[in-house]
Structure 1
Amino acid sequence: MLFDKIVRPALYRVSGSDPETVHERTIGSLARLSRVSPALAALGRVYRTDDPVTFLGLRFPNRVGLAAGMDKNGRALHAWPALGFGFVEVGTVTRHPQPGNDKPRLFTLAQTDAVINRMGFNNEGAEALAARLAATGKPPVPLGVSIGKSKVTPLDEAVEDYRFSLRALYPYADYFAINVSSPNTPGLRALQDKSALAELLAELRETSAELAGDAKPTPVLVKVAPDLTDEALAELLEVCLDHGVAGLIATNTTLSREGIAPPEAAVGEQAGGLSGRPLTARSVEVVRFVHDETGGKLPIIGVGGIFDAGAAARMLDAGAGLVQLYTGFALHGPGLVKRVARGLAARPY
């Protein structure tokens, strides 16, 4: 493929082989592109796929979205639909701006088709994202906003952290993703526990209803880890159903290191969450468990290890309504978006 053979090697040559520098330069280029309407229109003619579907009461131009983590601060919002994405999720954003964990914190495992990251929710903060959205406007596709806990906020004050971000960004989001499953913020995954999650969701539901007024509240989804046991996941699903959660995003990155190619074993020892091809089977398994355990009552966005239309189709067959790309897109470029979206469009659902 052109991207794999020419574009990606060139990006790494220019950036000194540092994956985070490649990422930042790519986002910067796409941010500049977002301001050039003729270029966006030309790209859209190449990459866009029309396969409309209704999900969460929203109309999506196709089933393939950009996962959180790629454009944390919403800098390139108008470029993503031109590259073929049917929806965009920004963040994870926190109440307080934060630099994230120490560098290096992003590692590419090219032979494994995977990435390890311990970014630590590096972002400019909820108010900065709200200001940018107010200035630049939303993209022409549904916009999700992933919100998380600031590292400086004690765990017992996490609820107010999430509520602050929800309030700041409520006018702009088509849905919210509640990130309680990243492995890179100390203690965050404890919020997946039954009592902690129940308290958080109850408060967010009340806040959302207040902000909505007479309108229908913006959908709130919970993003879950792939490392939960079936028992823990079943408890989490019970809480979600009890508190009117609109859906689930399955899954976040994993702490497992299964599936890493032997030549990259040393890189695999880096701390952080693993994403990419080793996660494919487990993510599908979690999607199927969620669908079966809830009797299909919770809409699901499937994410994790999607590198072709076949993997995306397995997500939908397991019970997902939409899918998201991150690592596959990062490693193989926008051609993957087009192939997955058109592959799904060709299937009857």
Structure 2
Amino acid sequence: MLRHGLKGVKPWVVQRRLASTAPSSSSYTPYVRFRNVVLGTATVLGATFLTSYYLDSRSAAHQYVVMPLIHATMDPESAHKLAVWSLKWKLAAKDRGTDDPVLETEIFGKRLSNPIGVAAGFDKHGEAIDGLFDLGFGYVEIGSVTPEPQPGNSKPRMFRLPEDVAVINRYGFNSEGHDSIAKLNGATADQTLLDNLSPDGNRSLYEGHILGINLGKNKTTTEEDAYKDYVLGVQRFAPYADALVINISSPNTPGLRALQRREVLQGLLSKVVNARNEICKANRKVPLLVKIAPDLTEHEVQDIAMAVKDSGIDGVIVSNTTIDRPLDLKSNPLTIQEAGGLSGPPLKAKALKTLKTLRQYTGGAVPLIGCGGITTADDVLDFARAGASAVQLYTAFAFQGVGIARNLKDEVTEKLKKEGKT
């Protein structure tokens, strides 16, 4: 709430000042009134300016003042919760710019006004969808969402590596479950609009922007029954999503990455695709993607490519976090050795290599979304040139703040135009 001017000097203070410094009150009353008006006006104008500055995502204060202050005073998970809460209640800044046509792309037959997305893991429960779109992301992915509620791993489970601008997390699919998240999305989305959308209409309810929902399996679900958790997710969330993502690559759920083995993956993906086709046969077919790990051999990536093509999956996100710890990390050695997935710039090389390899073996048959260490415009373009149709980020968001999408879009636009793109 803005303060509407100063309340002025207390009467007894004014009287004391008048008695000790002036012969009469009449000669000072106009001055006092004028001063109060000036100070009040200046305060209102200053507060208005600062508020406007803060609420504009392009403000450098977010990266260089707000984020360092948050990092200095809050642990990573508390800061994460604060960010989601502020976006949920529309208390954060907004992207007040417009997307240049040079950024426009198409994926799954849908137009994106820009290819910058926020990865799953930030808005796990679908609380801040509108707030994230307000920041200028072209693609927002929520989740991971599991069929039954589960608390995830014990705390602490998120660690900053400030010298590496990186994060280690071992959240472990903490989720409120399908029922809770479906109700939340039904409450926040205009159901009338959803019901009246054409088959090609965006479930995000934003033109040029798409909404993805990332599906996980419960920790107690066996490998043999894993496909059932993903089928339940498709059944529950197909009406709300522009894309559904099968997450088989988080390193924080025991046995999950084993689902990437070809003999397991082929069957799992085929069953989920068949269920999607059955569910959506009378309506649109929501695109199905699979999210893979960066910690794969070339042969394993080749096997995944074959499973993707044979099963009818519509796209792949490359990649999740890595369990590897590069030798050149500079942060506290004790923090570096924390269990969990590493994200941020140290992940980029592995993620980019995996995407290039997958592109080679899929031959462009399905769209690829790049994810892993994307921090700068050059990172965005590196993934695009390697074959990505869009990109996602998360860790850069945690370090640079709410202006990350706008800044990347402006920088990518500038670079593309210098190359003669229009």
Q: Same fold (TM over 0.5)?
A: yes
Query: By how many angstroms is 1:3 displaced?
Result: 2.9
Aligned pair partner of 1:32 in 89, 103, 107: 89
Query: What residue identity is the alignment partner of 1:29?
Result: S
Instruction: Kindly state the Cα deviation for residue 333 of structure 1 after the two structures are TM-superposed.
Output: 1.2
Shift of 1:49: 5.8
Residue 58 of structure 1: aligned partner: 110
Partner Cα separation in structure 2 for residue 106 and residue 133 of structure 1: 26
Instruction: Indicate the larger mover: 290-299 or 143-152.
Output: 290-299
* 1:109-128 map, 5 Å: 109-128=161-180
Residue 327 (1) aligns with residue 395 (2): yes
1:148 to 216, 222, 238: 216
Which residue of structure 1 aligns with residue 141 of structure 2? Answer: 89
Work out the CA distance in 1 between the residues paired with 2:62 and 2:333.
25
**Structure 2 residue 61 is the aligned partner of structure 1 residue 2:** yes
1:246-266 Cα deviation digits (max 9, x unpaired): 111001000100055334222
Alignment-derived partner of residue 47 in structure 2: none
Confirm or deny: 8 A CA contact 2:369 2:392 kept in the other structure. yes
Q: Return the match for 2:369 from 288, 295, 301.
A: 301
SS at match of 2:409: helix
User: Residue by residue, what CA displacement relative to the aligned partner does 1:21-77 show, whole Å, maximum 9, x if unpaired?
Assistant: 01001111111118xxxx87xx23147666322111112121000100000101011
Secondary structure of the residue aligned to 2:212 is strand
CA contact (8 A) 1:48 1:85 kept: no
**Contact 1:180–1:189, Cα closer than 8 Å, also in 2:** yes
Aligned residues of 2:99 and 2:113 also touching (Cα < 8 A): no
Question: 2:268 — aligned with what?
Answer: 200
Instruction: Name the residue aligned to 2:358.
Output: 290
- The one-letter code of the counterpart of 1:160 is K
In the other structure, the counterpart of 1:219 is 287
Q: Does structure 1 retain, via aligned residues, the 8 Å contact 2:147–2:217?
A: yes
- Aligned counterparts, 1:70-81, within 5 A: 70-81=122-133
Contact in 1 for aligned 2:164/2:331 (Cα 8 Å): no
Question: In 2, distance between residues paired with 1:260 and 1:326?
Answer: 22
3-state SS of paired residue (2:65) = helix
Q: In structure 2, what is the equivalent of residue 230 of structure 1? A: 298
> Residues 205-235 of structure 1: CA distance to partner in whole angstroms, max 9, x if unpaired?
1111111123341111111100010001100
Question: Counterparts of 1:111 and 1:122 in 2: how far apart (Å)?
Answer: 28
Query: Would the aligned equivalents of 1:78 and 1:139 in 2 still touch at CA under 8 Å?
Result: no
Pick from 337, 348, 371 the counterpart of residue 280 of structure 1: 348
Q: 1:45 aligns with which of 96, 105, 110?
A: 96
**2:75 matched to 1:11?**
no
- For the Cα contact (< 8 Å) 2:324–2:342, is it kept in 1? yes
1:313 and 2:370 aligned: no
Determine helix, strand or coil for the equivalent of 1:78. helix
Distance 1:335 1:33 in 2: 15
CA distance in 2, matches of 1:65, 1:175: 13
Deviation readout 1:165-184 (Å, 9 max, x if unpaired): 11111110101111000000
Q: Which has more radius of gyration?
A: 2
Counterpart of 1:22 (choices 62, 74, 79) is: 79
CA spacing shift, 1:158–1:195, aligned 2, 3 Å: same
User: Match of 2:68, as an amino acid?
Assistant: P
CA displacement at 1:10 relative to structure 2: 2.2
Deviation at 1:301, TM superposition (A): 0.3
Q: Describe the SS at the equivalent of 1:170.
A: helix
Equivalence for 2:409: 341
- Using the TM superposition, name which of 113-122 and 158-167 deviates more: 158-167
- TM-fit CA distance, 1:12: 3.4
Q: Identity over aligned residues, as a percent?
A: 39
Q: Answer with 190-199 or 315-324: which moved more.
A: 190-199
Q: Distance in 2 between matches of 1:14 and 1:294?
A: 46
Matched, 1:68 2:136: no
Give the paired residue count.
Answer: 341
Q: Distance in 2 between matches of 1:338 and 1:271?
A: 33
Instruction: Encode CA deviations 1:314-333: one digit per residue, 9 max, x unaligned.
Output: 00000001000100111111
TM-aligned CA distance change 1:205 to 1:263, over 3 Å: closer
Q: Partner amino acid for 1:326?
A: Y
- Asked whether the equivalents of residues 49 and 84 of structure 1 are also in contact (C-alpha less than 8 Å), the reply is no
Kept after mapping to 1: 8 A contact 2:123/2:142: yes
Q: Deviations over 1:124-168 (max 9, x none)?
A: 112211111111114522100110110121222111111111111
Distance 2:79 2:90 in 1: 16
Please provide the CA RMSD for this pair. 1.8
Structure 2 spans left out of the alignment, 5+ residues: 1-59, 190-203
Question: Residue 47 of structure 1 contacts residue 83 of structure 1 at CA under 8 Å; is this kept in 2?
Answer: no
Tell me which amino acid in the other structure corresponds to 1:170: A
Matched position secondary structure for 1:111: helix
Does the CA contact (< 8 Å) of 1:308 and 1:336 recur in 2?
no
**Aligned residue in 1 for 2:153:** 101
Query: 1:94 is aligned with what amino acid?
Result: T
**Range that drifts further, 313-322 or 335-344:** 335-344
3-state SS in 2 of match to 1:71? coil
